[in-house]
A and B are shown apart, each in its own frame.
Chain A
């Protein structure tokens, strides 16, 4: 079984400041890792994913995440946030082979203040 922990339920930050949203996972097998964003009244949108290769993954809207196998983490970062980044962010993990069934974290609400 696998699990995902998003350590912060809410992260307030001022516009143009950097932000890090934390995600830790546990799994006994190799995994793929994902970050999704959910804007109000919308579905989830994929920000980025780690499948293999370089541990630094760049995504849309200026976000990036780093896979750290030893710390079982996949933290999401952005060097300078905008008001429009205000949304719910979900980390998810799936097995890299065999069963697809994903496990999501509880989400982190990013609130960007002017």
Chain B
């Protein structure tokens, strides 16, 4: 069964450094998403992406963050100048149909980002 994959599974970085989290969505999916989950807290939506553009973004997704689909398979989340509070699990998701909220999203296993 096709699945969303994410690399690395765990990323440790120093405060102020840039990190890139990578995701490979399911191959025929067209809509991509990033979420984060700070330890012990709720899952939070960051951004959705379609046709090489951001569709929607939350208040969390400020200028520190950017997303990109650099090729036909990868979908990346870049965090510039990381802060301690960026430490979280970051989940990528993809969906096929683009029915917005009605879509079924398929989630990857997550990347745990630790900022020291």
Contacts and interface: CB of A to CB of B under 8 A. Distances in A.
Interface of A: 32, 36, 41-46, 49, 51, 90, 92, 94-97, 99-107
Interface residues of B, number: 22
Interface of B: 4, 41-45, 48, 55-56, 58, 91, 93, 100-102, 104-110
A43 B109 contact: yes
B42 A94 contact: no
B contacts with A: majority SS: mixed
B101 A107 contact: no
10 contacts: A32-B101, A41-B109, A43-B107, A44-B91, A44-B107, A46-B105, A49-B102, A90-B43, A100-B48, A106-B41
Contact of B109 (A42, A46, A94, A105): A42
